[in-house]
Amino acid sequence: MLRYLLLLVLACAVLATEEDVLELTDEDFSTRVQEHETMLVMFYAPWCGHCKKLKPEYAKAAGIIKDNDPPVTLAKVDCTEAGKETCNKFSVTGYPTLKIFRNGELSQDYSGPREAAGIVKYLKAQVGPSSKDLLSEEAFEDFISKDDVAVVGFFEKESDLKLAFLKVADKLREKVRFGHTSNRDLLKKGVSDGIVLYRPKHLHNKFEPDTVTYDGEAKKENIESWINREYHGLVGHRQRDNTQDFKNPLVVAYYGVDYVKNPKGTNYWRNRILKVAKSFASVFNFAISAKDDFQHELNEFGFDYVKGDKPVIFARNAKNQKFVLTDDFSMETFEKFLNNLKDDKLEPYLKSEPIPEDNDGPVKIAVAKNFDEIVTNNGQDTLIEFYAPWCGHCKKLAPVYDELGEKMKGEDVAIVKMDASNNDVPEPYEVRGFPTLYWASKDGKSNPVRYDGGRELDDFIKYIARQATNELKGWDRKGKTKKQEL
C-alpha cells in the first residue's frame, strides 16, 4: 500500500510538472504564442531519443521559470501529428528544435543548455534589461551573493564607460549577470566610475582576489575581453554547459566536484591545485570538473573510471595533444608534471588499438599509432573511412567498401578504414558521426576533403576516377571501364 501511494505521489509530481509546458497545435499556435511576451517552443517528435531525454529537463525548467519576473512560458509542438504545418512553417528539419518567440513573433533560435538549470539561466538572461539597476544597498548585496559571477558598474553620471558597459551587457547577457548602480552610498563604498567583477563566495580562496576592478579604456571590446579573461579565475569550475569557455592549453583536474553536497571537500582539492597553478598561470589555463559529468573525456584519456578521492590530471597543449599525470596526485607530482609539460618533455598520450600484425588486405587498417604510415605518408591518394563497430550504417557499408578495396588493387590509391571509437583521430580530420569518409590526395594530405557522395560501389569508383591524381589504369576519368588489350 505504501509503495502504491509513493508511486501515485511521484506520478502526480511528474504530471504537475508536465502541465507547466503548453501543448500547441496548428489550430491554436498563432493565437496562443501571441498571449505571452516571451515563449520558448520545443518542436519535437515522440519517437526521437534526444527529445525523450530533453522532455523531463524541459518540464522541470518550465516549473521553475513560470513565476519569474518577467515570466517566461515553455511550450511544445508535436511535428508528427497536430503540429505538422507549424513545424514546416518554421523550417524544422531536426528534433528537438527550440526557438524563442517574443509577442508572437519568432525572435531567435535557442542555442543554450539542454538541462533544467541551464535552460532557466539562459532564459532569465533573455528577458528584462540586460543589466539590473541596483537601487539600494540591499539589492546590491543580494545581487553579488548569488552562486555565480556578478559584474557591477558604478556610475555617478552618464559616461562613455557606462555606455560601453551596457553594450557589453547586451552582448553577454546569456552568460554573465550584470548590474549597475548610481546609489551614492554604494558609490562611496565602491568606485565612483568603474566596473567590478565579483566572484561567487564558494570559489573564494587565498590565492587570488575575490573581486577584480576594471582599469582599461571605455571601449566595449576591452571590457568584454577583460570579463572573459577574469570570469573563471585562476582555476575555473568547468561544467557541461561552459566547456567552450576553457581554451587550450588547458589543464583539468577531474574528481568528485560537487558544490551542492560537498563544497568543503571540493575546495580541499581545488585549493591544492590553485597553490600550484598560480606559478603557471601565464602558461596554462586551469579548471576542475566533476568526473561523473565528464566520463566521455576520461575515456578519451584511457580511463574507464577514477578510483578514490584524489584528482586525476589531464592536459591538452596548444596543438590539442593529450597528456596524463601518471603518478598519484600530490602538489609535488602536479608541479613536476606542469614543468615537464611546459618544457615539452612529456610524451603525448595516444588512444590507439595495437598495430595490426597482418595488414595486407585490400582495405588497409589504420590505428592511431600507424596513421602517419598508412595514410599521411603512404605516397598514394587515399580514401579513408572512420567507423564504429556498433554503427549500423557502417556495417551496411562494409561489404561495399571491401569490394572497393579489391577493385582498387594495382591502382595508385589506398582504401583505408579506422575504428574512430577506439583510436584518436588526428587533425585535420573531424569525425562527428559514423561513418565519416575523407579523400586525401597524395599531394594534399594536409587538406583532406570530406566525401559526401553515394555509397554504392559505382559511386565510389566514379568519384575516385575523377579525383585521382593520376588517371586510373582500369577506369577513365568518367569512371567507365577501360577496354583491356589482348
Q: Are residues 370 and 477 in the same domain?
A: yes
* Close Cβ partners of 213 (under 8 Å, ≥ 6 residues apart): 191, 194, 195, 196, 197
Q: Computed over its alpha carbons, how large is the radius of gyration of the chain?
A: 28
Give per-10-residue mean pLDDT for the chain (486 aa).
42 55 95 92 94 94 86 93 93 93 89 88 84 94 93 94 93 90 86 91 97 95 97 96 93 96 97 98 97 92 87 95 96 98 96 94 96 96 97 96 96 97 92 95 94 96 96 94 71
Q: What is the pLDDT of residue 126?
A: 81
In this structure, the answer to whether residues 368 and 476 fall within a common structural domain is yes
- Sheet containing 177-181, strands listed edge to edge, beginning at the edge strand earlier in sequence: 131-133, 177-181, 150-155, 193-198, 211-213
The pLDDT value given to residue 190: 67
Domain for residue 222, yes or no?
yes
Q: Which of 310, 343, 376 is the last residue of a domain?
A: 343
Query: Is residue 244 located within the same domain as residue 224?
Result: no
Half-sphere exposure (Cβ direction) of 42: Cα atoms closer than 13 Å:
28
Q: Read off the pLDDT of residues 5-49 as tens digits, 9 standing for 90 and up.
A: 444 433 434 444 578 999 999 999 999 999 998 899 999 999 999
Residues 392 and 468 in one domain: yes
DSSP strand pairing (177-181 vs 150-155): parallel
- Is there a single domain that holds both residue 59 and residue 154? no
How many CB atoms lie under 10 A from the CB of residue 25? Answer: 15
Confirm whether pTM is higher than 0.85: no
- Of 12, 51, 79, 87, which one is the catalytic site residue? 51
d(CA 237, CA 222): 24
- Alpha helix (H) ranges present in 1-134? 2-18, 29-34, 49-65, 84-89, 116-124
First-to-final CA distance of the chain = 88
Q: Which domain holds residue 475?
A: 364-481
CATH code (residue 339): 3.40.30.10
Q: What residues are paired with 77 via a beta bridge? A: 24, 43
Nearest-5° Cα angle at 295, 293 to 296 = 115
List alpha helices for 131-219, DSSP H.
137-144, 160-172, 184-189
Whether 374 and 477 share a structural domain: yes
Asked whether residue 354 is domain-assigned, the answer is no
Domain termination site, one of 311, 343, 375: 343
The answer to whether residues 380 and 439 belong to one domain is: yes
Among the listed residues 366, 363, 246, the one whose alpha carbon sits nearest the alpha carbon of residue 294: 246
The answer to whether residue 394 is catalytic is yes
CA distance readout (Å), 401 to 190, 440, 452: 69, 17, 15
Q: C-alpha grid cell for residue 190?
A: 565602491
Active-site annotation holds for 79: no
355 class by beta-carbon count within 10 Å (0-12 exposed, 13-18 middle, 19+ buried): middle
Q: Which of 12, 79, 87, 391 is catalytic?
A: 391
pLDDT value, residue 4? 45
Instruction: Give the Cα separation of 306 and 310 in Å (integer).
Output: 9
Task: Classify the phi-psi angles of 379: left when phi > 0, otherwise alpha if psi is within -120 to 50, otherwise beta.
Answer: left
**Using an 8 Å Cβ cutoff, are 40 and 76 in contact?**
no
* 469, part of any domain: yes
- Number of folded domains in the chain? 4
- Please say whether the beta carbons of 42 and 77 come within 8 A: yes
pLDDT tens sequence across 368-424: 999 999 999 999 999 999 999 999 999 999 999 999 999 999 999 999 999 999 999
Rounded CA-CA distance 397/459 in Å is: 12
Closest CA to 186 of 145, 247, 140, 237: 140
Q: From CA 325, how far away is CA 306, in angstroms rounded?
A: 13
Do residues 90 and 145 both lie within one domain? no
> Is 311 a domain residue?
yes
CA distance 137 to 41: 38
Q: Where are the beta strands (DSSP E) in 182-234?
A: 193-198, 211-213
What pLDDT score was predicted for residue 269?
A: 98
Residue 246 lies in a domain: yes
Using alpha carbons only, what angle is made at residue 358 by residues 353 and 360, rounded to the nearest 5 degrees? Answer: 120
DSSP 481: B
Residue 34 neighbours by CB distance under 10 Å: 13
Same domain, 219 and 287: no
Do 372 and 474 lie in one domain? The reply is yes
The confidence score (pLDDT) of residue 71 equals: 84
> What nine digits make up the cell of 234?
585562476
C-alpha cell at 382: 587515399
397 shares its domain with 473? yes
Last residue of a domain, one of 174, 207, 231: 231
161 and 268 inside one domain? no
Identify whether 224 is part of a domain: yes
Quick check: is 486 in a domain? Answer: no
d(CA 149, CA 203): 10
Tell me, yes or no, whether 22 lies in a domain: yes
